[in-house]
């Protein structure tokens, strides 16, 4: 059969603005890749991220650059050399996984040799706002098992105190998105301990984190922007205690699984994260989430309307997509 590849820009409106230290978004902009081989069709999604100098236009151009190879039969192994880690490779890689599963009549889980995705705790996010508004948001999520709190460097103490008071029983991830410096981090550690913080995610810039090599944190620190692929671990393992695997950073499920397995082999903690995306991104990420200590896959929960048959949230518990949505024949 002759393969065909199609890539397109899709937009999903959000129910509320998603505000973090580096900006705010009101819609999810994704690239959807569809690869057809006769009657068998696989899909994947990538989310270009400006932090990594990615745009929709650049991502579509990258995919166009490998069209001939993919339509000529290039597989996932070949793809790793054709594209750099990032949203473009993620979308194509996940489409190839989906295509492979459907052609074989077996699920992606079966191809990996792993259990099928199941219901699991996934963080609900409290985005940056006034401390009072963040408390209101946290109170509405207070029965969830895990909250992730976005903060910046302006008034994180007030924000975190209000959130913890409003949601006293949740496990807590604090995510400054690189907005803190060394002095702020050292100064706020006692508060993080007092508030029973479970994880501090990428507090300082990935380009200015060398000092973490000599630092023993009171709260485990998770690398996010500082880690993309398994080759990064030589440095990351000296600075961080946990690694956040995102398919858009690693460039697809193939590289994400490699990074997750390498992270575990080094004895580091593991987290699975996502961009603000549709369930098409999350369905693939669930295969890393099953291995993880922390799961943060609430991207589709922010959408006014997700893709039909996608994941669902029940009070902070994420339910996998309906069979046939992605990666299942």
Active site residues: 150, 246
Closest-CA residue to 248 (of 75, 13, 33, 2): 33
Q: In terms of C-beta density within 10 A (0-12 exposed, 13-18 middle, 19 or more buried), how is residue 327 classed?
A: buried
198: which DSSP letter? -
Taking the C-alpha atoms of residue 163 and residue 167, their distance in angstroms, rounded to an integer, is: 6
How many C-beta atoms surround the C-beta of residue 238 within 10 A?
11
SS3 of 145, please? Answer: coil
Q: What pairing do the DSSP bridges indicate for beta strands 317-319 and 120-121?
A: antiparallel
- For residue 275, the Cα-to-chain-centroid distance in whole angstroms is 5
Rounded to 5°, the CA angle 305-308-314 comes to 70
- For residue 75, the Cα-to-chain-centroid distance in whole angstroms is 24
Give me the half-sphere count of Cα atoms (radius 13 Å) on the Cβ side of residue 300: 24
Q: What is the dihedral of CA 282, 227, 207, 88, to 10 degrees?
A: -50
Token pair of 194 as six digits = 């007092």
Taking the C-alpha atoms of residue 97 and residue 93, their distance in angstroms, rounded to an integer, is: 6
**DSSP alpha helices (H): ranges in 34-153?**
56-65, 67-71, 76-82, 87-104, 108-112, 131-140
Q: What is the dihedral of CA 225, 75, 328, 34, to 10 degrees?
A: 80
């Amino acid at each position: 059969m002759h393969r065909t590849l199609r890539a397109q820009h899709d937009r999903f409106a959000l129910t509320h603005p998603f505000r973090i230290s580096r900006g705010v978004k009101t819609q999810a902009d994704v690239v959807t890749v569809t690869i057809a081989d006769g009657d068998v069709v696989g899909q994947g999604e990538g989310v270009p991220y400006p932090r990594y100098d990615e745009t929709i236009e650049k991502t579509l151009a990258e995919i166009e650059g490998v069209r001939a190879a993919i339509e000529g039969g290039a597989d996932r192994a070949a793809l790793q050399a054709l594209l750099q880690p990032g949203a473009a490779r993620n979308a194509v890689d996940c489409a190839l996984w989906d295509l492979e599963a459907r052609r074989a009549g077996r699920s992606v889980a079966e191809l990996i040799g792993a259990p099928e995705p199941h219901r699991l705790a996934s963080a609900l996010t409290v985005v940056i706002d006034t401390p009072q508004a963040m408390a209101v948001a946290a109170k509405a999520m207070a029965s969830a098992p895990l909250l992730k709190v976005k903060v910046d460097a302006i008034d994180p103490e007030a924000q975190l105190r209000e959130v913890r008071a409003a949601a006293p029983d949740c496990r807590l991830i604090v995510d400054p998105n690189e907005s803190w410096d060394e002095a702020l981090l050292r100064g706020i550690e006692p508060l993080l301990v007092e508030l029973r913080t479970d994880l501090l995610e990428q507090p300082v810039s990935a380009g200015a984190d060398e000092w973490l090599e000599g630092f023993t944190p009171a709260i485990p620190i998770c690398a996010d922007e500082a880690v993309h692929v398994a080759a990064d671990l030589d440095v990351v393992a000296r600075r961080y205690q946990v690694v956040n695997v995102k398919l858009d950073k690693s460039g697809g499920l193939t590289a994400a699984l490699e990074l997750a397995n390498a992270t575990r082999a080094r004895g580091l903690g593991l987290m699975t994260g996502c961009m603000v995306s549709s369930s098409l991104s999350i369905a693939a990420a669930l295969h890393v989430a099953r291995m993880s200590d922390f799961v943060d896959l609430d991207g589709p929960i922010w959408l006014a309307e997700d893709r039909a048959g996608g994941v669902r949230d029940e009070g902070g518990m994420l339910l996998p997509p309906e069979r046939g949505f992605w990666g299942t024949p």
